[in-house]
Amino acid sequence: MTSTLSALIGTDEPLTIGGRSFRSRLMVGTGKYRDHGVMSRAIGASGAEVVTVAVRRVDLDRTKEEGMLYHLSSDDYFLLANTAGCYTADEAVRYARLAREAGFNEFIKLEVIGDRETLLPDTEGLLAAARILAKEGFAVLAYTNDDLITALRLEDAGCAAVMPLASPIGSGLGLINPYGIRTIKRRLSVPVIVDAGVGTASDACLTMEQGVDGILMNTALAEASDPVAMATAMRLAVEAGRLALLAGRMPRREVAMPSSPTGGMLR
Amino acid sequence: MSDIEIVLNGESRRVPGPSTVAGLLRHLGLDPRTVVVELNRQIVRRAQLEQTALASGDSVELVHFVGGG
């Protein structure tokens, strides 16, 4: 069964962002896990290649665990740094430059947050930062809301991918606006990766069925009772949603249509 | 040899001087391959760590990758 699924998925095109190709359409974060062992096993089970990290001050008292590079090998994963926690374009640009200096790649998951309660993006700051970073040669993956106009402007700004939310970060509310996400995917040429809000496997499957190129999630795995099992479920759900999309679903009808022959009935 | 006072990750700190950024990292026991350094808001490239001098009043930020989404 697994090999059949792999073969079917194998006929799909790889996900290509900023000139780099990835087999897995599931990207995962590294925050909020209860320990690094669970995190490593969950990320392994997810099959993800792209793994996000945040940029923070080194704890000089070493009361906390050391940096992520002690727990995740950059040989095994493609490290995608984010600008999480940044509330202005200037701040996000500063974090992005620091992340690039770490020396792994030119990719940045750009977040410019506009509100502490909802963590919804400040689209004005986001566009300003995206323009600067794209000009500096970054492959910008921009975390945004489900608004088509902002998504189009991010594409025009030179973003390598646009990442609309399913629902607010860490909310687990699932795909709130399937139409909005579908519309963004239909209208953009760059890859569309849904980022944030996916809570469980059915959310991931439904999101992929909208036609998007991939999903990034963190809390859905980290806060599951069994993150490794949930990571496996998410891997299968992303593949199932992708396959269902490629398979082409039947039309929706407002009336029933019999599955068995209407002729040949006893009189 | 006398200590210099710098602002390190937002806090005043006395460190042995005269020193370079690389010297500071050695003093703190940090591997330069896992840390990115900003000196007075300018990134210090890894190749420049040994040549970049530290002076009293300098502001140094040391960052690295941590878990995040």
ipTM of predicted complex: 0.93
Contact B65 A79 (CB under 8 A): yes
Which chain A residues touch B if contact means CB-CB below 8 Å? 29-33, 39, 52-58, 60, 67-70, 79, 81-82, 84, 94, 97-99, 101-103, 169-170, 196, 216-219
Is the CB of residue A26 less than 8 Å from the CB of residue A221? no
Q: Is A63's pLDDT higher than 70?
A: no
Asked if A29 and A218 count as a contact pair (C-beta separation under 8 A), the reply is yes
Q: Could you give the C-alpha distances from A159 to A15, A47, B29, in angstroms and in order?
A: 16, 25, 38
* Residue A39 belongs to a domain: yes
Report the alpha-carbon distance of residue A172 to residue B15 in Å, rounded: 46
Average pLDDT over residues A228-257: 96
Domains defined along chain B, listed by start: 2-63 (3.10.20.30)
Token pair, residue A195, equals: 């980022």
Question: Taking residues A32-43, what's their average pLDDT?
Answer: 94
| Alpha helix positions (H), A136-248 | 148-156, 178-187, 201-209, 219-222, 227-247
Give B5's strand partners: B14
Position A33 in a domain: yes
pLDDT band at A8 (very low <50, low <70, confident <90, very high): low
Instruction: Check pLDDT > 80 for residue A64.
Output: no
B14-68 pLDDT, tens digit each: 999 889 999 999 999 999 988 999 999 999 999 999 999 999 999 999 999 999 9
pLDDT > 90: what percent of chain A?
A: 87
A40 within a domain of the structure (yes/no): yes
Q: How far apart are CA A166 and CA A207, in angstroms?
A: 8
User: What is the rounded average pLDDT of the residues A163-186?
Assistant: 97
pLDDT of residue B1: 65
Judge whether residue A1 has pLDDT over 70. no
Please check the confidence at residue A222 and state whether its pLDDT lies above 70.
Answer: yes
- B interface mutation test: which of A33, A100, A101 has the most B CBs within 10 A? A101
Task: Name, in order, each residue with C-beta under 8 angstroms of A221's C-beta and a sequence gap of 6 or more.
Answer: A28, A29, A33, A42, A46, A227, A230, A231, A234
Exposure string for A116-135, b = 16+ CB within 10 A, e = fewer: eeebbbbbebbbbbbbbbbe
Mean pLDDT rounded to a whole number for chain A: 94
Q: What is the CATH number of the domain that holds A158?
A: 3.20.20.70
Please write the tens of the pLDDT for every residue from A71-103.
888 889 999 999 999 999 999 999 999 999 998
What was the pLDDT predicted at A194?
98
- Number of structural domains found in chain A: 1
Radius of gyration (C-alpha) of chain A in whole angstroms: 20
pTM: 0.91
Torsions phi, psi for B25 (to 5 deg): -60, -40
Is residue A260 in a domain? no
Containing structural domain, residue A36: 2-57+66-247
pLDDT of residue A145: 97
